[in-house]
Amino acid sequence: AALIAGVISSSFSWYNIENTTWPTRAAWFSGLVLSIASVASSAIHTAAFLRMKCDRDIPQRFRHALGKYRDYEGEAHDMWKPHVLIPYVLGGPTLHLKLAVLAFLIGLFYELWRAANDAMLTWHGEHLKIAFVVTLVGGFVVINYIFSIWTLVHRSIHTASKP
């Protein structure tokens, strides 16, 4: 997350940042804020889990922090049920990081295609070629990302369902 924040903040030092459109700068500033939020929430999670680690009854503390026991009628014992927001809370830093990357890429592609559109009006094709190649690479990256996530989720579901 800190690396993404560094990449986004270094994009503000480009020589013509003031010549970019407001959507591009808004997307980049949003990405910067999201990456800083990712770093901050990761630090909070790390500190909380390190504090819990010092306790002797670690599994019980984690269960208590992530859910609660409920007494169900007709049951011989209490059942533990996780809090509804736990996936969101534990996945928050990763979500912020993914959104930061997405915001940066949206701003980047917007600026690339805006420059390509302006170049098409004056018949200078270099910006159009750059935008096209970067879009092809971006599409390749998105397809690989979706494939890797699908493979990971698919394998974890089938691995978890086996006895």
Write out pLDDT tens, residues 55-114: 777 777 777 777 777 666 655 566 777 778 888 888 889 889 889 889 989 998 998 888
The CA-CA-CA angle for residues 127, 131, 136, to 5°, reads 150
Predicted local confidence at residue 14, as pLDDT: 67
Predicted local confidence at residue 141, as pLDDT: 92
Mean pLDDT (the chain, rounded): 79
The residue type of 29 is F
Q: Which two tokens stand for residue 140?
A: 């390749």
Predicted local confidence at residue 77, as pLDDT: 60
Q: Within 10 Å of residue 69's Cβ, how many Cβ atoms?
A: 12
Residue 137: pLDDT band with limits 50, 70, 90: very high
